[in-house]
């Protein structure tokens, strides 16, 4: 199971995708957990789908930080609530 990074040296974003392409990225506060943004993000995703129902919409809350020469990424899929992680060196 992936555990959310709670260090202070991270950047956090909300990413909106349509048909797999990023169409909107918003920088958000890195304070607290990513999960605290889930209710608002779910509401925002529902509103987007209501106004523009033709696309296949997705949203994730993402954070990234440098550590030991690599960039770490964690994200939560807003629809499923699943936390995932990737490390790029």
CA 10 to chain centre: 13
**Rounded Cα–Cα distance for residues 11 and 8 (Å):** 9
Collect all residues with Cβ–Cβ distance below 8 Å to 84 and sequence separation of at least 6. 2, 74, 75, 76, 77
* pLDDT recorded at residue 7: 65
37-76 per-position pLDDT tens digit? 999 999 999 999 999 988 899 999 999 999 888 999 999 9
* pLDDT recorded at residue 31: 86
């Amino acid at each position: 199971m992936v555990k959310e990074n709670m260090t202070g040296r991270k950047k956090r974003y909300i990413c909106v995708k349509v048909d797999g392409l990023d169409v909107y990225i918003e920088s958000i506060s890195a304070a607290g957990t990513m999960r605290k943004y889930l209710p608002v993000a779910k509401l925002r995703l529902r509103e987007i789908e209501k106004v523009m129902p033709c696309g296949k919409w997705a949203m994730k809350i993402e954070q990234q930080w440098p550590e030991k020469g690599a960039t770490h990424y964690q994200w939560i899929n807003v629809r499923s609530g699943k936390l995932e992680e990737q490390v790029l060196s």
